[in-house]
Amino acid sequence: MVFSSSLSHLAMLVSLSANTVLAAPRPSSPQSLSMNLKRRAPEARSADNIGNWAQAHKLNVEAKYRKTASSVEKRNSGQNLVVNQKADSSFFGSLAVGTPPVAYDVILDTGSADLWLASSECAASACDGVPTFKSSDSSTFQNKSTEFSITYGSGAAAGSLGEDVVQMAGFSVSNQVFGVCDQVSDGLLNSPVSGLLGLAFQTIASSGASPLWETLASSGAWDQPLMTFQLTRFNNDSKATDLEPGGTFTMGTTNTSLYTGDIDYNDIPDNDESYWLQTVSAITSQGNAITISSGSSALAAIDTGTTLIGGPADAVAEIYSNIPNSEAGTGQLDGYYIYPCSTTVNVTMAFGGKSWAISNADFQAEQLNSNTCMGAFFSLDTGDNAPSWIVGDTFLKNVYSVFRYNPASVGFAELSSEALAMNGVNAAVPSATIGSAAATVSATAGARDANNGAASFHSLSTGPVLSLLVITLTILFSSRLV
Ligand SMILES: *[C@@H]1O[C@H](CO)[C@@H](O)[C@H](O)[C@H]1NC(C)=O
Ligand SMILES: *[C@@H]1O[C@H](CO)[C@@H](O)[C@H](O)[C@H]1NC(C)=O
Ligand SMILES: *[C@@H]1O[C@H](CO)[C@@H](O)[C@H](O)[C@H]1NC(C)=O
Ligand SMILES: *[C@@H]1O[C@H](CO)[C@@H](O)[C@H](O)[C@H]1NC(C)=O
């Protein structure tokens, strides 16, 4: 989630060089917070494991694209397999950029609207070991010669804007504008992730460019004008490794294998297409209703790029007041709450329609010691320009979520047993699933050419899998830290 994309380039550079976290009013910075947290640490991946994974990954990708290159199929929806990074801290997918196309892993973020990649010119330590974009390797790259900068709660990236072919989940946009960033603040990228794909509306894009998804949705490239997420849970799995299967990101259709019952859609209030806004209509904690303020302080951004759930201090305090022996955190845990781990917590949220339960496993964000846990709701002051609630993966792991372009709305449905069965199943992470280019769209013309043949993928870079540092890209801080 981007809280402020309007900070000046200069201010950002100053902050970058000072190596600090930008726009981070409270709670405290990830680095300091981590010192108090006793994580149920995932087992470190050995060099052998990583090598095996990397080799399998490369072979899978090569096999996949050799196959699709020769069997052109026309399709107008597509699936991208997601990777769950560091026990639910972040979720990333893959796309391909340029000619010949090169694959990159990018955080999938419904809380911002820009695509950017680390540049091969990036000398910042944040880019060490991260696959980077080299514009001279792409024959179709066009330099827009315009500065780009974006500020997240947890850091910032800056560079210049370019335009190139971007392919994802079987779709291709021939002239996607994106940031090529030679300045990236520490902690923003955790290998193998090279950048971020913003999935919110163009109105909040720092670049001003139409986001990939919005170009596809508005041009009619999709069977249905919507995209969906099913996200896996590994935070209560002591065997979780740095990278685990993360679920699915689907463009252009819902997938009935992944949910049951109806999808409960609620419109984006006032047609304010910026973040994926919803109005919080009800919250219960241990069966008791929480007081929700009306008006703008009930606005929530539904944000796949945020790990936890932030909300107004009063409401968050009331949630914990229903949990016996809970108390406000102090010092580095300012803004958070601690409570006895032995308490099974049941919090539900509604956004105008059905009410959705957050599992105890997700509420229990961290175990601080044998008795004390930290809850997933934290108090947040987003200021005037952002919604009061940021509803992140803590919530989204409990539902099938639908982000619908037209009518602009967010929908939730119950996860199917097939989807639930993917939680906590340690397995090799999916290979890049960029797909064949079945539908090609131009960002300016919005034209659709569904008969365009499959692209040939020559050099899919898959990037090394190193040990991962954990920062959630889009909130003020992250809950899961190294
Ligand atoms: C684009 O051009 C600018 C100069 O106008 C240059 O500074 C920048 O490095 C170029 N970007 C890329 C990705 O080539
Ligand atoms: C729907 O999800 C199932 C289970 O993950 C998957 O096997 C299938 O390919 C998906 N269908 C589409 C159209 O993406
Ligand atoms: C959680 O609370 C809601 C609201 O009171 C209730 O309907 C639901 O049954 C509870 N779930 C569990 C698992 O206790
Ligand atoms: C994790 O939490 C889910 C949801 O509460 C539960 O179904 C699952 O059994 C838990 N897994 C472990 C390993 O405790």
Residue among 88, 105, 109, 182 flagged as catalytic: 109
Global pTM? 0.81
The amino acid sitting at 175 is N
Q: Is 255 in the pocket of ligand 2 (CB under 6 A)?
A: yes
Q: Which atom of ligand 3 is nearest to the CA of 288?
A: 5
Q: Is 293 in the pocket of ligand 2 (CB under 6 A)?
A: no
**315 within 8 A of 291, measured Cβ to Cβ:** yes
Instruction: Say what the pLDDT of residue 295 is.
Output: 86
Q: Are strands 377-379 and 309-311 parallel, antiparallel or unpaired?
A: parallel
Residue nearest (by alpha carbon) to ligand 3 atom 2: 287
Instruction: Say what the pLDDT of residue 220 is.
Output: 92
Q: Which residues, including other chains, have CB under 8 Å from residue 59's CB and lie 6 or more apart?
A: none
Catalytic status, residue 109: yes
Instruction: Say what the pLDDT of residue 18 is.
Output: 26
Instruction: Say what the pLDDT of residue 282 is.
Output: 98
Residue among 88, 164, 264, 303 flagged as catalytic: 303
Residues with CB under 6 A from ligand 1: 119, 135, 143, 145, 160, 162, 180
Instruction: Say what the pLDDT of residue 217 is.
Output: 95
Would you say the C-alpha torsion 109, 115, 120, 125 has a positive or negative sign?
negative
Catalytic status, residue 334: no
3-state secondary structure of 296: helix
Would you say the C-alpha torsion 379, 190, 186, 209 has a positive or negative sign?
negative
Instruction: Say what the pLDDT of residue 364 is.
Output: 98
Q: How does pLDDT run along the chain (482 residues), one tens digit per residue?
A: 433 332 222 222 222 222 222 222 222 222 222 222 222 333 333 444 444 444 444 444 433 333 333 233 345 999 999 999 999 999 999 999 999 999 999 999 999 999 999 999 999 999 999 999 999 999 999 999 999 999 987 789 999 999 999 999 999 999 999 999 999 999 899 999 999 999 999 999 999 999 999 999 999 999 999 999 999 999 999 899 999 999 999 999 999 999 999 999 999 999 999 999 999 999 999 999 999 988 889 999 999 999 999 999 999 999 999 999 999 999 999 999 999 999 999 999 999 999 999 999 999 999 999 999 999 999 998 888 889 999 999 999 999 999 999 999 999 999 999 999 999 998 888 876 665 444 567 664 333 232 222 222 222 222 222 112 222 222 223 332 22
Strand partners, 310: 378, 390
Q: Which atom of ligand 2 is nearest to the CA of 230?
A: 5
Q: Is 160 in the pocket of ligand 2 (CB under 6 A)?
A: no
Distance (angstroms) between ligand 1 centre and the Cα of 305 equals: 28
**28 within 8 A of 332, measured Cβ to Cβ:** yes
Residue nearest (by alpha carbon) to ligand 2 atom 7: 257
Q: Which atom of ligand 2 is nearest to the CA of 255?
A: 1
Residues with CB under 6 A from ligand 4: 236-237, 359-361, 424
